[in-house]
Structures are given as C-alpha cells and as structure tokens.
Structure 1
Amino acid sequence: MSAGTIHGVGLGPGDPELMSIRADRLVRSARHVAYFRKAGRPGRARRIVQGMLRPDAVEFAMEYPVTTEIALEDPAYNAALSGFYTNVTTRLIALAETGQDVVVLCEGDPFFYGSFMHLHARLQGVVPVSVVPAITGMSAAWTATGVPITWGDDVMTVLTGTMPEAELTSRMADADAIVVMKLGRNLPKIRAALDRAGKLDRAWLIECASMEAERAVPLAEAGECPVPYFSIVVVHGQGRRP
C-alpha cells in the first residue's frame, strides 16, 4: 500500500475568501483534518474553515503543551515543544502509512513563522508531504492601512517582537519598510524601539487583518491596551516614486 500524503495547507490571513482554489479544494475533500490549537480553545485555523469540512471528516486537534507559560529562553520551553511536535508527527505518519491523506490546516502561509514547519522537518523523507502556500498575514495587514508597503528600491525588513529591544532598534533604524510580527506582550518594547529609531510616527498597528474584527490605527494613537494575538505593526517605505 502506498503511503498517503500530509498536506500543509495555508489558509491565508483569516478571511476564507482569501484562500487559494487549491486550499479550498483540499479542505473540502479531506477525510482527515489536523490543526493546531491552544488547550481549551477551538483554534484559529479551525475557525477559518467552519462549515467547509465534509460531514464525515475525522479531526485531530494538536494542542500545544505550552504557549506563553514558560519563557522562550527557558530550555524547558524548547523541550516541551520538541516532544510535542515529535508526538503529533508520529501520529500523522501512522495515518499516512495506512494510505490516508491528511490535511494540516495552517494559518497564513505554512512556511512563514508557522508551526507546520516543525512537522515538515520531521516528515520529510518519511512519508510524502506537500505544502500549499498562501497570502500572509503581513500582506493583509499593510493592505488594511490603504498604503503600499514599499516603493521603488525600498528594502522590507521583517522582525519579531520577541527580539531584544536594542536589536530591534538597530534593525529598525537601518530599515526602509518594516513589518513586526509576534506582538502580544512585546508591544511596549516594540513601541519604544520604534521611537528610538525615529519611526514611531510612521508606524501602524493592525489587529485581525482581513477578519471581521479588523482594526488599523497609527501605533502612536493605539493606546496601551493588550492587542490580539493576530496583530502586526508595519512602517511603510518612503522610496523612489515616478
């Protein structure tokens, strides 16, 4: 019996209408569907495909053992996630070896800061694996501002809010256009770094881009309230224009 294929399917930034035709076809036809979620939550990827799954679809919720309970730099964090990814990969491989295809739902693009990357690294060379790319969350974010992110020869820099403030400041100061991912509790640090880099006045905060709760405001006017997990900061480039 030939092995089934594990499909990492990018769902895009959140609006189901922004999914690719291939992603839509795979999701609607899937007999086995897997997705990541925090324990006790439905999972963002699963919400995106609500009403799209076939009635007899078998669902596999892959629940993270930790999210923010342990600091990223704590060795226990990496150990917990490594064991988790190994365990869920073993289960996916077992399904594939019975000839079953499995669709793994991925928010955004599977190869851009996505959890599927860690499965892909463990699946390669063991069973067939396929990846369906998607519109990224950052693309939806800068679109929500109504302003192009780059002009002319602008170089766009993508940063993560988990970086040290000094490094954020240095990279922001040298960048033309900026995208900052992974905000959460890091937003005050990101705001301070942008201020020190002289670019706070050009920064935008976008929450839940492409979703019903979408909100795009200048970061300097956003206040100090906590932001949703799906939030991104962008600074538009000011490059050459005809």
Structure 2
Amino acid sequence: MTGTLYGLGIGPGDPELLTLKTARILAEVPVIAWPAPLEGEGMARAIAGAHIPPGRIEIAIRMGFTVDRAGTEAAYDRAAAEIAQHLEQGRDVAVLCEGDPFFFGSFIYLFARLSPRFKVEVVPGVSSIMAASAALQAPLSAWDDGVAVIPSTRSEAEIEALVAACDAAVFMKVGRHLPKIRRVLERAGLWDKARLIERVGLPDQRIHSAATVSELPYFSIILVHRRGQAWL
C-alpha cells in the first residue's frame, strides 16, 4: 500500500493556532516536508517545530520565493518526485503549509502533482485573514455582506472594480503596493476605515494606523468595511 499525503494548515504564525488534528498527525507521520528559502529553516518549520518529534525524515522544499515562475515550478517538481518516493514505499508524508493549505497555500501545487496518484487528506488551518480580523478586533462580515479577498498585486483598475462590488475587502501581500491600495480606497472614501496589520501571529506583529502608515512589508493585510463596523 502507498502512503497518505497530508496537507497540514499550521496557521499564520502563532504555534498555539495549530489544530489538534494537525498536532496529532505531526506526531505520527514519518516524513515531514515544508517550503523553505534557499538557505535557513523557513517559517513553516519554525511555527510547527515544537510539534515535530525527533528522528523524522525532513524535506525542505527549497525555492527562491521570487516572481520566477519557472524556477518555482521546477522546485515543486523536484519536491513532488522526492515525496512520491516515500509515498510509494508506504510512508505517510505531511506537508506543512502556513495558514490554510487551499487558501493561497503552497500545498496546492503539490496537490495538483500528486493527488492523481496518491491518497490525500487536507487539514484546514487558521488563515491569516481570520487571524488579522481577530487581532484587529474588526469583524470581517455580518448580515449578508459580500467580501472580496484581493491580492495587492492586481492592477489598480481591477482593485477598484472589486472594491466597488463588495461590502468588505481584504488586501493581502501588501508591501510595495500600499500606495496603489491607498489611492483606490481614498477615491472610494474608505481609507479612513482601513485597518492595517503586518506579520500577524508572529512575535513582531504590528498594527498600524491608516493616518500615519508610510510603508508595510509583504506579509501585511489591510481590512476595510464599507460601513466602518460590520455590525452597523
């Protein structure tokens, strides 16, 4: 029999946000893989580290985390081939994924390569959006609100159209796109309602004011609700 591939959501950064199911699987599987930079441990491994027993086979999926699509695809190809060898030999493999595996998750690309051949179980995790909403004490939606999740990499015109069509918006991967988002929200009369947070769930988490913020890192989120407060 072949092994089972697990896609484990480990949350946005706080190790206490791992689910009991994820912690149990980590204690049982013989092989653990995770996305990692070209050098160093990687955030996913650091978050889950306390739940990984010694003696496990570990696979660091090394990639440059750049816009080089070909290089990233090649890294997933190599990782899928290595993981498949373990699965073929009957060993279960758990892949760590920050946040939720199927919500902008790196596991998606391994799932696409391996699910036609092997049994897969996906364990959901706390997404950075839910963690940001909790940390900011800003309910994301209520009543029959429509919510748009917008990668900040989209064009200004696309972002403007998405904001116009929703009651609440979440901007992810903000970084250098902050001025563009600000322009869109100012034109919509919503910038003063924006709530901003960087590196949610991590020890260096910071909450910013829309009135004073001048820059944000890539791992930042902006929440905004057309009514200001979801319950109004």
| Percent of pairs with identical residues | 39
Q: Secondary structure at the match of 1:223?
A: coil
Match of 1:146 among 134, 137, 142: 137
Are 1:220 and 2:218 an aligned pair? no
Over 3 Å counting, the alpha-carbon distance change for 1:44 and 1:240 in structure 2 is closer
Return the offset for 1:152. Answer: 1.6
Q: Where in structure 2 are the equivalents of 1:91-170 lying within 5 Å?
A: 91-170=82-161
Over 3 Å counting, the alpha-carbon distance change for 1:240 and 1:88 in structure 2 is closer
Are 1:235 and 2:224 an aligned pair? yes
Q: Secondary structure at the match of 2:41?
A: coil
Q: Secondary structure at the match of 1:103?
A: strand
Q: Secondary structure at the match of 1:49?
A: helix
Q: Secondary structure at the match of 2:49?
A: coil
Over 3 Å counting, the alpha-carbon distance change for 1:18 and 1:237 in structure 2 is farther
Q: Number of aligned residue pairs: give it.
A: 231
**2:224 maps to amino acid:** V
Distance 2:38 2:231 in 1: 48
Query: TM-score normalised to the size of structure 1?
Result: 0.89
**Contact 1:202/1:218 (8 A) holds in 2:** no
Structure 1 stretches lacking a partner, 5+ long: 71-76
Query: Counterpart in 2 of 1:74?
Result: none
Q: Secondary structure at the match of 1:192?
A: helix
Query: Counterpart in 2 of 1:73?
Result: none
Find runs of 4+ consecutive structure 1 residues off by over 4 angstroms.
239-242
Over 3 Å counting, the alpha-carbon distance change for 1:163 and 1:240 in structure 2 is closer
Q: Secondary structure at the match of 1:8?
A: strand
Q: Where in structure 2 are the equivalents of 1:169-208 lying within 5 Å?
A: 169-208=160-199
**Contact 2:139/2:230 (8 A) holds in 1:** no
Return the offset for 1:174. Answer: 2.5
Distance 2:213 2:118 in 1: 47
